[in-house]
């Protein structure tokens, strides 16, 4: 099964709440490189 | 620890995949004395957006919002081999080819149905929906393990996560 995007694709914006209650969007990082890492407490 | 990344115009964004919300994620963030922002994806929405069924994952995006790298499963920023990928990207803008092994779970709708029930307070209904989903897609570890965590909080939230117990669940086909 392929993932939804491939290298070279524009990533659509998304917004999620931070632990301190702020809304954080991917677009907030525009102009910087960003490394996103996913983890779980489980 | 991550100052060199900031100096290379690279930010870290930590995403806690946790349907139970920030209270479960916060201790881990604080334990890491985290120098980065952690957001909480309760609805597991990015599993659907990017197409993945398990964690830990890493995604690298450039200054223009373009995907440069994705690795689903086995990417852990605390491990040298994962950190090295990020450091290389920060320094050069280049990332290695990665086997992505992604894909939206065929049981994602089970997750969403269960999550809606969970949010409405129907925890038993939620668990039933997720159990059905695990049968449809046993490889949806995000759903499977979050279900375990709700059913067996003592194995997850009293001291360290009990990975020996998790292995027993897998061996027993739960």
**Token digits for B48?**
């659907």
Q: Record the pTM.
A: 0.93
- Contact: B157, A41; criterion CB under 8 Å: yes
Of A10, A30, A35, the CB nearest to B12: A35
**Token digits for B70?**
């994705």
- Contact: B17, A26; criterion CB under 8 Å: no
Per-residue pLDDT of chain B (174 residues; tens, 9 = 90+): 788 898 899 999 999 999 999 999 998 888 877 789 999 999 999 999 999 999 999 999 999 999 999 999 899 999 999 999 999 999 999 999 877 778 999 999 999 999 999 999 999 999 999 999 999 999 999 999 999 999 999 999 998 899 999 999 999 999
Q: What ipTM was assigned to the predicted interfaces of this complex?
A: 0.97
Of B37, B95, B102, the CB nearest to A18: B37
Distance from CA of A19 to the nearest CA of B (A): 6
- Contact: B70, A24; criterion CB under 8 Å: no
- Cα separation values, B139 from B55, B63, B70, Å: 11, 33, 19
């Amino acid at each position: 099964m392929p993932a939804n995007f491939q290298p070279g694709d524009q990533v659509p914006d998304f917004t999620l709440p931070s632990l301190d209650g702020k809304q954080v969007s991917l677009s907030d990082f525009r102009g910087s490189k960003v490394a996103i890492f996913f983890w779980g407490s489980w | 620890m991550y100052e060199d990344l900031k100096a290379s115009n690279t930010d870290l964004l930590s995403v806690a995949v946790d349907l139970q919300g920030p209270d479960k994620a916060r201790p881990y963030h604080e334990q890491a004395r985290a120098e980065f922002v952690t957001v909480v994806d309760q609805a597991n929405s990015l599993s659907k957006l990017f197409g993945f069924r398990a964690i830990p994952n890493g995604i690298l995006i450039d200054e223009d919002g373009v995907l440069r790298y994705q690795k689903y499963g086995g990417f852990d920023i605390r491990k040298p081999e994962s950190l090295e990928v990020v450091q290389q990207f920060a320094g050069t803008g280049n990332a290695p080819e990665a086997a992505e092994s992604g894909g939206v779970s065929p049981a994602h709708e089970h997750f969403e149905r269960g999550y809606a029930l969970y949010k409405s307070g129907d925890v038993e209904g939620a668990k039933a929906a997720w159990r059905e989903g695990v049968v449809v897609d046993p490889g949806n570890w995000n759903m499977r393990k979050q279900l375990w965590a709700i059913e067996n909080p003592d194995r997850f939230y009293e001291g360290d996560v009990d990975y020996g117990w998790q292995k027993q669940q897998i061996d027993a086909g739960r």
